[in-house]
Amino acid sequence: MRSKSVLLAALLLMVTLAAPLARAAAKAPAADPADPNLWLEEVEGKKALEWVKARSAKDTAELEKVAEFKPIHARLLEIYNDRARIPAVSFAGDYLYNYWQDAEHVRGIWRRTSLDQYLAGNATWETVLDIDALAKADKENWVWKGADFLQPESRRCLVSLSRGGGDAVVVREFDAVDKKFVEGGFSLPEAKSQLGWKDQDTVWLGTDFGPGSLTDSGYPRLVKLWRRGTPMSAAETVYEGKQADVSASGFTIINPEGSYDVISRTPEFYRGQAWLRLGGRLVKIDIPDDASMGGIFKEQMLVTLRTDWTVGGRTYPAGALLVIGLDAFLGGSREFTELFTPSERVSLAGTSSTRNTLLLSTLDNVTSRMYRLTLKDGAWAREEIKLPGLGSGGPGATSEKDDTFFFSYNDFLTPASQYVVRDGQEPKLVQKMSAYFDATGMKVDQYEATSKDGTKIPYFIIMPKGYVANGANPTLLYGYGGFEISQRPGYSGTTGEAWVSRGGVYVLANIRGGGEFGPKWHQAAVREKHQTTFDDFIAIAEDLIARKVTSPAHLGIMGGSNGGLLVGATFTQRPELFNAVVCQVPLLDMKRFSHLLAGASWMAEYGNPDTSDWDFMQKWSPYHNLDKSKTYPKVFFMTSTRDDRVHPGHARKMVKRMTDMGKPVYYFENTEGGHGAAANLNQRAYMWSITYAYLWKMLR
């Protein structure tokens, strides 16, 4: 099922879509006497970059001197460049494709092999596109951002490349048989664009066509069809969203039963409308604005709900997955079949499909379960595919030619394993990743903390060998708590090698704002209720101290992006609880966030600071709650010059304000890397090595 969720997945996609390239050459912000640090929002301003270079060099030099830095760095380079790690594969035509990086392919190669060779364990990988060679030939710092194949032939594809790792991309049409870019083919300059196939000679296009073509969030407002051989300026406008929307887009769902043209409008996160384009006219998909049309399988339309929906004489609960025949739905029927019904601690994690099966993943108290559903004579049959343990797992690559699919499994102490299921047969182990740290004597538990409002908040704790609850254990608490994104048990060679195997305790928080228990878990912490996220995180920290797992002198917290806001608000509210804070690519200035890059698209999550929403937002905006009279832990802030999703000005200004207050901090800004803060494996190894060096320095 080549489908995209019209609402929910499209909404979450806004988190990952490119931000305007124009930010690189942005004009200096208007002077604001209340904020003397606005000059640091000039991403590539000379004064700002000189400050960044000097500050980063000074602080990273100090962290590189920490005793743990060199051995951790050397080991992480080995782990990240390990040739024996499991390739992430995807089906396209007769091949399995994989993007691969190692010590010899720093930027990476896009390669392929056959399914039979791969399963036999003797795959001969054929290089389709060498990104290192391309970067050298083009004299560009290309970073791979993926390829979108035209189905079902899987010969032509749209390849996306980023300069330095930012979200803004160049798109070029590529021939996977000839292994070269198509001369005169579809091509877009670097921008924040939405480009996807309708057919061999037509693509859906959304990009910056000039004034008025983008929304206030900086995403495409116009949906166009661009035909081969014509200039982009001649593309036909099919739909126009509103200026205040987040985005509008068009795409084609292609599956064996047919193709379906879809137009979607996203006025704000978690709300939207969608239309089928039938015979040149738009027919609205009449479902709640906060529901998601999750694709079409066997001419059946899937719908996931974010709130309860009463229709056709029945009430379906928030978090349910519904299905109905598309023709019947368009004909007025609302007799849905409920394929998944949530419960208090069980939620839907995702769906995918093969030629004849629908695959469901669920979370049961934050551990994964997986099911295979088939439709026969109008009835749905369901069977569970058992996972090896109580960890994380779910479908990976799926075939549309038959019922072959891969799935993976891992948990905190168990390296990832990859399985294949072929045409309804039992799962077969394909390969298992080597252990990157010795887990002997380590233990994992799941506890609950009681938040301020009495809600029980679960968290996982990984205890090292020889652990004793004496209040002196170096402990790292990680959280995210936003955008309905779940934090799940998972094997990390980085965390295991750099932290737990050296005696550290690692804690993963499942706070509200995430999606661990479905949409209601998320909705409990949005906008005026966002303080709930911080309360939950603080409750876990206090619970760890009460259990004598650790103490404030040995407790650190970490989070990135929305998680950077989480730890930023938490340490400004309760600085006495922590002795280390890792704040990565963060949101921190919540008065300005909606005016920086894609920030306006996140107002449904946080609120609009230009309205009365600021009354509640200012209470937890980290930048505005710094207090010169308070003693803060020595925070480590990290960002990237090329982050065109969350503006690097957030971290820069926070560091400058704290420094001006006489508060010691560490700072690192990578000039590459985008929102991930690292453009290749070597940069990633360095980033995490100085991070864990900092944690050992502060918490041992």
Domains of the chain with CATH codes: 58-77+440-699 (3.40.50.1820), 86-284 (2.130.10.120)
Question: Within the chain, which residues score under 70 in pLDDT?
Answer: 1-33
**Predicted pLDDT of residue 20:** 29
Task: Walk across the sheet containing 443-450 and list its strands.
Answer: 443-450, 456-463, 505-509, 475-478, 555-560, 580-584, 636-640, 666-670
Phi, psi at 682, each rounded to 5°: -65, -45
**Predicted pLDDT of residue 33:** 65
The whole-model pTM stands at 0.92
| Percent of residues in the chain assigned helix, strand, coil, to nearest 5 | 25, 35, 40
Q: Judge whether 394 and 419 are in contact, CB under 8 Å.
A: no
* Pairing of β 202-206 and β 187-191: unpaired
**Predicted pLDDT of residue 217:** 86
Q: Which two tokens stand for residue 657?
A: 């304000």
Non-local (6+) Cβ contacts of 368 within 8 A are: 349, 361, 362, 387, 391, 392, 393, 394, 409, 488
Q: Taken in order 164, 167, 172, 176, is the CA torsion positive or negative? A: positive
Quick one: which of 685, 684, 682, 673 has its CA closest to 145? Answer: 673
CA atoms lying within 13 Å on the CB side of residue 448: 9
Q: Judge whether 230 and 271 are in contact, CB under 8 Å.
A: no
Q: Which two tokens stand for residue 37?
A: 């640090």
Residues present in the chain in total: 700
**Predicted pLDDT of residue 32:** 58
Question: Angle at CA 562, nearest 5°, toward 561 and 563?
Answer: 85
Q: Judge whether 587 and 562 are in contact, CB under 8 Å.
A: yes
Q: Roughly what angle, to the nearest 10 degrees, separates helices 681-699 and 46-64?
A: 60
> Residue 38 CB: number of other CB atoms within 10 A?
17
Q: Taken in order 599, 603, 607, 613, is the CA torsion positive or negative? A: positive
**Predicted pLDDT of residue 680:** 87
Nearest-angstrom CA–CA distance, 184 and 447: 59
Phi, psi at 102, each rounded to 5°: -155, -170
Non-local (6+) Cβ contacts of 686 within 8 A are: 73, 678
Nearest-angstrom CA–CA distance, 433 and 435: 6
Q: 264 vs 5, 221, 223, 276, CA distance in Å?
A: 10, 11, 9, 9
> Residue 626 CB: number of other CB atoms within 10 A?
18
Question: Active-site positions?
Answer: 561, 675
Q: pLDDT tens digit string along 112-154?
A: 999 999 999 989 999 999 999 999 999 999 999 999 999 999 9
What is the enclosing helix (H) or strand (E) of 606?
helix 603-606
